[in-house]
Amino acid sequence: MKGYELYIAIAYLVLAPFIGGLLAGFDRRISARLQGRMGPPLLQPFYDLRKLFTRSLAPVNRLQVPLVVSHLVFAVLTGFLIFWGGDILLIIFVLTLAGIFLVLAAYSTGSPYSAIGADRELIMMTAYEPMVILTLVGFFKVAGSFNFWDIAMIGKPTILLLPGLFIGFEYVLLMKLRKSPFDLSTSHHAHQELVMGLHADLGGPSLGLVELAHWYESVYLYGLVFLFFSWNPIAAVLGVVGSYLIVILIDNTTARVKWELALSSAWVVALVAGVGNLIPFYLLTGVTH
């Protein structure tokens, strides 16, 4: 991949919305079948997005749209920099900044529902960040670099070297994608006590931009999953697809937990699966690469 990073990053800008939309479509179809329903068409997410962009823009205040646009820009920039071969440990903080803009957009409305969703989103960010950072540190230990393509081309079965980090990352991936049981800040399920939450006061094109940002985010998050299996193309495809299906299965078979359990469990998983994997790995391979 060396020499083609920029082209791949540009391809990400163009193709990620289509891939992310298809992932959302398959998610709906598979979830419906698990629940004994026919489900919507595969392309329904694209129809929904088109409908949102055809509505008139009616922001709650003058800050909401700039904040939502900033959320999209930094979410897209995160993926572009990752696939361009930047330092993913530093880039992940760009992703955090994207999340902060969305939280600020929710707070700016003055709505209690948006505020509750924003509070919970901040809690989720506090919960999953340690595990994400530990995962990136593990990649560095294996490849000697934080560059996405250096890690991808290392030629080692990373999943066998860092199984605990993979389990931990899969756990917090549910939080990053806002899937049950960790869909505390926003949910599309009507049986939840807070539907939408973080997105409660977004509508029309503003909500469409947030959904588009989520599609971009889904692609590069599964790109990080790819790094665990990148030594073999077939293993990479099976690993990413398996991770995707596990997320859908858990989303459809678990109930939402309270924020205290979400936060504490994420930190326990980071300590046990993350640190518990890194310490023996460092001891066996040495502190320096």
The 8-class DSSP code of residue 87 comes to: B
Dist CA 135 CA 141 (whole Å): 10
Q: Residue 153 and residue 13: Cα distance in Å, rounded? A: 22
Domain definitions of the chain by residue range: 5-50+111-197+214-285
Contacts of residue 48, Cβ cutoff 8 Å, sequence gap at least 6: 211
Percent share of the chain, pLDDT over 90: 72
What is residue 288's predicted lDDT score, i.e. its pLDDT?
A: 46
Q: What is the pLDDT of residue 286?
A: 64
Are 4 and 203 in contact, with CB atoms under 8 Å apart?
no
Query: How many CA atoms lie within 13 Å of 243's alpha carbon, on the beta-carbon side?
Result: 27
Q: Tell which residue, 176, 152, 162, 128, has the closest CA to residue 274.
A: 162
Check residues 89 and 1 and name the one with the higher pLDDT: 89
pLDDT at 188 exceeding the cut of 80: no
Confidence class of residue 194 from pLDDT cuts 50, 70 and 90?
A: low
Q: Coil, strand, or helix at residue 156?
A: coil
* pLDDT average, residue stretch 130-134: 95
C-alpha distance from residue 184 to each of 20, 74, 97, 116, 221 (Å):
22, 23, 20, 9, 19
What's the confidence (pLDDT) of residue 190?
53
C-alpha to C-alpha distance for 108 and 62, rounded to whole angstroms: 9
Looking at residue 22, its pLDDT comes to 97
Q: Among the listed ranges 1-5, 170-174, 273-277, which one has the minimum average pLDDT value?
A: 1-5
Of the pLDDT bands very low, low, confident and very high (cuts 50, 70, 90), residue 4 is confident
Task: Count CB-CB contacts under 10 A for residue 289.
Answer: 10
Looking at residues 33-55, what average pLDDT do you find? 92
The number of beta carbons lying within 10 Å of the beta carbon of residue 7 is: 12
The amino acid at 185: S
Average pLDDT over residues 174-199: 77
| pLDDT, greater one: 215 or 56 | 215
| Tokens found for residue 101 | 């803009």
Residue 135: count other Cβ atoms within 10 Å of its Cβ. Answer: 28
pLDDT band at 73 (very low <50, low <70, confident <90, very high): very high
CB 96 within 8 Å of CB 136: no
Q: Tell me which of 65-74, 106-115, 164-173 is least confident.
A: 106-115
Residue 174's pLDDT is 95
In this predicted structure, what is the pLDDT of residue 89? Answer: 85
Residue 289 has pLDDT above 50, yes or no: no
Model pTM score: 0.92
Average pLDDT, the chain: 91
pLDDT tens figures, 136-149? 999 999 999 999 99
Q: What's the CA gap between 12 and 227, in Å, rounded?
A: 16
How much of the chain, in percent, has pLDDT values that exceed 70? Answer: 94
**Residue 1 confidence (pLDDT) above 70:** no
Cβ-based neighbour number of residue 126 at 10 Å:
14
What sign does the CA torsion over 282, 222, 27, 95 have?
positive
Instruction: With a cut of 60, say whether residue 191 has pLDDT above it.
Output: no
pLDDT band at 57 (very low <50, low <70, confident <90, very high): confident
Phi, psi of 104 (to 5 degrees): -65, -35
> Which pLDDT belongs to residue 3?
66
Q: Which two tokens stand for residue 33?
A: 């079948």
Contacts of 134 (CB under 8 A, 6+ apart): 165, 168, 270, 274, 275, 278
